[in-house]
Amino acid sequence: MSGTPPGDLARNRALWTVVNAEFTDGDADRSWAATTLTWGLFGIPERDLGVLGDVTGLDVVELGCGTAYLSAQLARQGARPVGVDLNAAQLATAARCQRRFGPTFPLVEADAEKVPLADGRFDLVVSEYGASVWCDPDRWVAEAARLLRPRGRLVFLTNSVLATLCVPEDEGFTQEQLLRPQRGLRRTAWPGGGVEFHPSHGEWIRTLAANGFAVQALHELYAPAGAATHAYYGIATARWASRWPVEDLWAAQLTG
Ligand SMILES: C[S@@+](CC[C@H](N)C(=O)[O-])C[C@H]1O[C@@H](n2cnc3c(N)ncnc32)[C@H](O)[C@@H]1O
């Protein structure tokens, strides 16, 4: 498998430099100062889901860590994270936040489809809107399996399949109608945006199984009552996401 073409990688790297300047750098102080580990656009608390379990003493790698606030939360809970990201600007923000808030942990500038870290080094691979969206599942799930020890776990969050079917191609929030076919959705190049991967649930299960994982859970995340629409990511309004799942949070474990 050859992986994501260099042109797509360059397009995504450039997009995330712009997003860092527009939003993630400015938001990083808030996300690093947060005291609760939450998931996704509407901040669903991990304590309500229990998808990660006790991470104390675990070696964790976050693929597509961005500003690495998730890894920071895991480090505060006693894990030993390593953050991997393609984008130097995102990692520079992460390093700034490490100095300002702590804790510090390694940050690696690399493509999550070809991670320059040793086989079998980690107990847990996580990705929140990182490799889970921006990398070819055949490549990055294989990398996750390679990086994990036997019985290691993979937990990742991505846009729900339904949200991806209902979001307009250019600007705007998810609609109450299907705007594209599900067939062929897997690789999606947005006009003026990046190149994303949105496999169906069946494709995720096949890819996970082909790489030695058994699915433990699929949490479909809704906006909780009283949630506000995200100020920057124009994906779904809180009203839409209170009625349909906006994100899929998967947990899987290597069977051997
Ligand atoms: C939405 S951020 C995810 C981080 C954080 N959880 C968040 O929601 O802000 C997406 C990140 O994926 C990174 N990314 C995109 N393609 C990548 C690739 N091929 N390898 C590693 N990281 C990649 C981007 O640089 C960006 O920092």
Contact 70 CB / ligand 1 (< 6 Å): yes
Q: Is 185 helix (H, G, I), strand (E, B) or coil?
A: coil
Distance 134 CA to ligand 1 centre (A): 7
Q: What is the mean pLDDT of the segment spanning 93-104?
A: 98
pLDDT at position 181: 94
pLDDT at position 2: 64
Cα dist. 215→27, 138, 206 in Å? 33, 16, 10
Q: Is the pLDDT of residue 1 over 60?
A: no
Contact 165 CB / ligand 1 (< 6 Å): no
Q: Is 13 helix (H, G, I), strand (E, B) or coil?
A: helix
pLDDT at position 234: 87
* Structural element, H or E, at residue 54: none
Q: DSSP string covering 163-183, please?
A: HHHHS-SSSS---SS--S-ST
> How many C-beta neighbours within 10 Å does residue 228 have?
10
Residue 35's pLDDT band, with cuts at 50, 70 and 90, is very high
Distance 131 CA to ligand 1 centre (A): 6
Q: Is the dihedral of CA 84, 114, 160, 178 positive or negative?
A: positive
pLDDT at position 26: 96
Mean pLDDT, the chain, rounded, equals 96
pLDDT at position 96: 98
Residue 138's pLDDT band, with cuts at 50, 70 and 90, is very high
Q: What is the mean pLDDT of the segment spanning 149-159?
A: 98
Contact 66 CB / ligand 1 (< 6 Å): yes
Contact 24 CB / ligand 1 (< 6 Å): yes
Interatomic CA distance for residues 109 and 27, integer angstroms: 21
Q: What is the mean pLDDT of the segment spanning 139-159?
A: 98
* Residue 153 identity: R
Interatomic CA distance for residues 156 and 207, integer angstroms: 14
For a mutational test of ligand 1's pocket, the pick from 134, 156, 230, i.e. the residue with the most ligand atoms closer than 8 A to its C-beta, is 134
Q: Is 124 helix (H, G, I), strand (E, B) or coil?
A: strand
User: Which residues 6+ apart lie within 8 Å of 205 measured at CB?
Assistant: 215
* Residue 169 identity: E
* Residue 46 identity: E
pLDDT at position 171: 82
